[in-house]
Amino acid sequence: MAPLSSKRPGEVEEAATFGISVKKALETPEEQKQPDDWRVVFFPWQIDNAYCDREPQALSEETLRYFSDKPGFSLGQMSWYQRARAQYGMFIKREFPTVLEECFQTPIEGAIYAEIMDRLRAEGAIRQAVVDTSSLVHTAWDLGSPLNTVTWYFQIVAAEIRVIDCDSDLDLTPVQRVARLLAKGYLYGSHFLPHDAMATMHSGKTFLTELGEVGLRNCKVVPRTHDIWIGINRLRQILPRFTFRIPACERGLEAVSNYHTVRTTSTGLAVDEPVHDWSSHASSALKVIAEAEAAGMLSSAGSTANVSRKPVTVLTGLRGDARDDFEPDILDRFFGGPQRARVIR
Note the helical H segments in the chain: 9-27, 61-66, 75-88, 92-95, 114-122, 174-183, 207-213, 228-238, 250-258, 280-294, 328-334
**Statement: residue 8 has pLDDT above 60:** no
Strands 219-221 and 188-193 come out as parallel
Whether the per-residue pLDDT at 206 is higher than 60: the answer is yes
Confidence band of 302 (pLDDT split at 50, 70, 90)? low
Predicted local confidence at residue 334, as pLDDT: 36
Residue 338 has pLDDT above 50, yes or no: no
Domain borders along the chain are 1-41, 42-106, 126-339
- Alpha-carbon gap, residue 29 to 207, rounded angstroms: 42
Say if CB 124 and CB 65 are below 8 A apart. Answer: yes
Q: What confidence score (pLDDT) does residue 139 get?
A: 98
Per-residue b or e along 163-201, where b marks 16 or more CB atoms closer than 10 Å to that residue's CB = bbbbbbeeeeebbebbbebbeeebbbbbbbbbbbbbeee
User: pTM value?
Assistant: 0.66
User: Who has greater pLDDT, 288 or 267?
Assistant: 288
Contacts of 21 (CB under 8 A, 6+ apart): 38
Give the ranges where 89-139 is alpha helix by DSSP (H): 92-95, 114-122
- Residue 322 has what pLDDT? 38
Residue 317 has pLDDT above 50, yes or no: no
Q: Parallel, antiparallel, or unpaired for β 160-167 and 150-157?
A: antiparallel
Q: Is the preceding omega at residue 29 within 30 degrees of 0, hence cis?
A: no
| pLDDT for residue 175 is more than 80 | yes
Backbone angles phi, psi at 87, to 5 degrees: -80, -45
* pLDDT tops 80 at residue 309: no
Distance of alpha carbon 145 from alpha carbon 280, whole angstroms:
13
For residues 134-140, average pLDDT: 96
| Model pLDDT, residue 318 | 38
Q: Which of 31-40, 68-77, 149-158 shows the lowest mean pLDDT across its residues?
A: 31-40
- Lowest-confidence region among 124-133, 280-289, 306-315: 306-315
What's the mean pLDDT when you consider all of the chain? 82
* % of residues, the chain, pLDDT over 70: 80
* The pLDDT value given to residue 18: 64
Which pLDDT band, with edges at 50, 70 and 90, does 45 fall under?
A: very high
What pLDDT shows up at residue 19?
A: 62
Stronger pLDDT, 63 or 339, i.e. the higher one:
63
Segment 58-67, tens digit of pLDDT: 998 889 988 9
Q: What is the pLDDT of residue 242?
A: 97
**pLDDT given for residue 248 in this prediction:** 93
Fold exhibited by the domain 126-339: Nucleotidyltransferase; domain 5 (3.30.420)
